[in-house]
A and B are shown apart, each in its own frame.
Chain A
Amino acid sequence: MLALIVSAVLPFQGRAEKLSLPQSINVEKLQSMIRLEKVVLVNVAGLIACLDAKIPGSLCLSCSESQSQPAFFSLTKGSKIVFYGGNGPVDPECTLVKRTIAAGFTSVYFLQGGLAAWRMAGQMIVSDKRIPRVFSHAVHPRSFSDWQKKAKSPLIIDIRTEQAYAAGHLDGAENFPLSRLHQQYPEIPLDRTLLIVDQDGTESFLAASYLARKGLLHIQRLKGGMAAYRGQRR
């Protein structure tokens, strides 16, 4: 009976996979693709994150890439292109990916688990311009209101994408997406106590270290990011 149900469901699953683009591939599959043919790897985690760590040979193009990137889009349409982020899946709303598909590329993939999965598999990474990490305290979501009261001239820096920020953010937070932080950091005042907020706590440490290297002081992070904050409120 079970086999009957499974065999009845499987064809539908296969059909669903065919329709959804890009396809998701795991590290093992990517490795075998790299061995057999030329693969264009694109790190969409943002320039700072990409220069900090990437799969060797990757391009650093952020999701919100506004420029046309002629070199990239002039690749043959049959090229195999694998997009990957830092610790998690690539945002399905990633503009660059949509543009890539719209441009007629047919072999577009997402790397499951992103760079973290690549590293977990023991694969090599390269750092073109690594950001030395700087100690910065994590503020627990339940202590957030205390932090707001006690911090001297607090300023919340939300490094998520514009869409995520627009969908909901902490009161008073200002949006400096990580993908553009290297361009926008001069706008951050030097005399404020900063709280870096990301989606799930995995990017704020890099952003905090980057800002500390740029001379900003008093930087803290929201532990677990917005996901933890929302979970705490529930």
Chain B
Amino acid sequence: MRRNFAGIFFIIFIVCFLLTSVRTGIPAQTGNCQSCHADQAYGIGFDSSVHGNNSCTSCHTGIENIARHSLGEKKSNPVRCASCHREIASSYQADTHAVTQNMACADCHQQIHTLTKSAKPKKISIQEKCVRCHQAEDYALLGHGKAVMAGNADSATCTDCHLLHNMGRMSGRAGKEAALLCETYTARCKSCHADAGVARRNNLSTAIADTYDQTYHGKILQVGQFPRVAGCADCHSGHNTLSADDPRSALHPDNLQHSCKSCHKTMHKRFVSFEAHPGAVEGKSYLALHVTEIFMIILLAGVFVFFWLHTVLWWRRAYLDKCRQRQAGFIEDKLAPECCEERQVQRFTLIERVMHVLLILSFFTLVMTGFPIKYSETAWAKVLVNLWGGPQLAGIFHRVAALVLCALFLYTLWLSIRFLFPQWQGRGWIGRLFGPDSLFPNLKDLQDIKGMFFWFFGKGPMPQFDRWTYWEKFDFLAVFWGMTAIGLSGFMLWFPGAFSYLVPGWVINIATIVHSEEAFLAAVFIFTVHFFNNHIVPNKFPLEPNIFTGRYRLEAMRQERRLEYERMVAEGKIESLKRKGPGLWAQLFASVFGLASLVLGLFLLGLIFWAVLFY
């Protein structure tokens, strides 16, 4: 009997289960809803829509009592698309449509109950959706949009640039937000325009992206721009990516001035000849740029080949000499501190030493703020820029250091004039210009160069020098040349609009090359040749402190600048030059500051070579 009851209960349970399943199962329940909601949207289109496999209550939750719902007493809970589309809903929280317009899913995806996959390509259907609000003539009918509608699958539809359901805010017209937008959108442009496959299929050149990166705009953008520089959309006017020969294009000659002026408020109309993508357009002539590049390459190659060869040979000869002297017992290993040597002579005045310290500080500032821009694509560029507090502060430091250097340059120029024309007496200035106290090269310097090379190969004695050697004169005059080139080009890059009243825009392109290559020449020369000649050469290693202490040993003068020594003795001036050794604090400053400068310079040299070799 108990068995029979169990069987009956089991059958009742199965029947109930089946009935419940039929009642709450997907097709039955949808059918129930559709018995009331029988209009076209719910009755016909829903089953074949993309959501057709769901029941009504999958989205319209909270209907527990159909009778009350039928009477209108209980409505369903608000639809939460996020309950299924979690990822999209999550990213959509920050989308500008959600944040600024409070737009919900169904605002775009209207007719949700009959929504089907479009037969059209996705890019076209997205664009068609967007232009229902955003004016078609601005978006779909220009440049990319037009190509999308013509079926070009490579061309960018709205969401390729603005992202789908994840479109950041577009309201940043100033400050960091605007800079970030510019950076983001330029990166998105480059994701296609730097793609070789896309470029090949569409008869474009990836040089467009590469050459932009080589301009000031591109470089600043790469290190994290602020304040903002021109990104792609600033010149190409966002959606107006028409060819430059189209009168509607922002790049058309009639419109270009207006485009440039949106950033460069004060500029002459000739400014527009600036090339934002120099070298990107094949066949276009860039003679002036090529000539400048070739000139700079020859200059750099000439300087480095000569001086690096000079350096290597000098080091080899000095090293061999030192080894021989040590073997012969001429050199004591015990090092005596400079301060213990009482017989010293004055070489540099206080003002000259202060100038050199300022020169070092401004030069390092310029290198550490400028080279991250020159090598903006390197891993260290952003790190170095951020050490200064970001690109904006780095830019300010760069300009302040440049002004310090300019002031030093002008003061040196003034001292040079005073040297040539003491008490404004012109007589004898040629003699002073080529004389032993002058930093201007003379015939003896040529003989000294020749003599040094003979000495390098053991073919003669080391030349005897007067107050200034030829490499010291080169150091000094290189600053004059370098300051003129690097300073003038720097001011052009600082005030491009103002300079357009003097020179055409393409000169700014030349200024970019000159500034960049001159900076390379100056930095690498100082960190290799100057460091070696004055500090790393074996008889001075690790540091020659006389530029900081102002004085050096009388014996060193006798050996290294014998002609000056003899001249001073002959003129009876040697006694007036004699000084006691520098004090402890002067020694300490010279050692710490000098060695720190050397170490920092060599570190920066490493970064530069890293960039040259691996980027």
Contact = CB atoms under 8 A, between A and B. Distances in A.
B135 interface: yes
Contacts of B351: none
B41 to A, nearest CB: 15
Given A116-B100, A120-B169, A135 B132 contact: yes
B171 interface: yes
A137 B133 CA distance: 4
Nearest to A138: B135
Given A87-B171, A133-B107, A205 B135 contact: no
B342 interface: no
B99 interface: yes
B446 to A, nearest CB: 47
Contacts of A200: 171
Contact of B100 (A132, A135, A137, A202): A202
Interface string B85-117: 000000001100011111110110010000000
Contacts of A120: 94, 99, 169
A210 to B, nearest CB: 12
A88 to B, nearest CB: 8
Interface string B157-175: 0000000000001010000
Contacts of B98: 119
B138 interface: yes
Say whether chain A's binding surface is mostly helix, strand, loop, or mixed: loop
Contacts of A53: 102
Interface string A83-94: 000110000000
Interface in A63-84: none
Contact of A205 (B101, B106, B110, B138): B101
A200 B103 CA distance: 18
Interface residues of B, number: 20
Contacts of A137: 132-133, 135
A223 interface: yes
Interface core residue of A130, A137, A143 (most chain B CB under 10 Å): A137
Contacts of B106: 132
A208 B94 CA distance: 23
A138 B134 contact: yes
A140 interface: yes
Interface in A172-212: 200, 202, 205-206
B137 interface: yes
A132 B107 contact: yes
A40 interface: no
Nearest to A223: B135
B93 A119 contact: yes
A140 B102 contact: no
A2 to B, nearest CB: 10
Contacts of A139: 135
B381 to A, nearest CB: 24
A95 interface: no
Given A143-B137, A200-B171, 4 more contacts: A122-B94, A135-B110, A137-B133, A205-B101
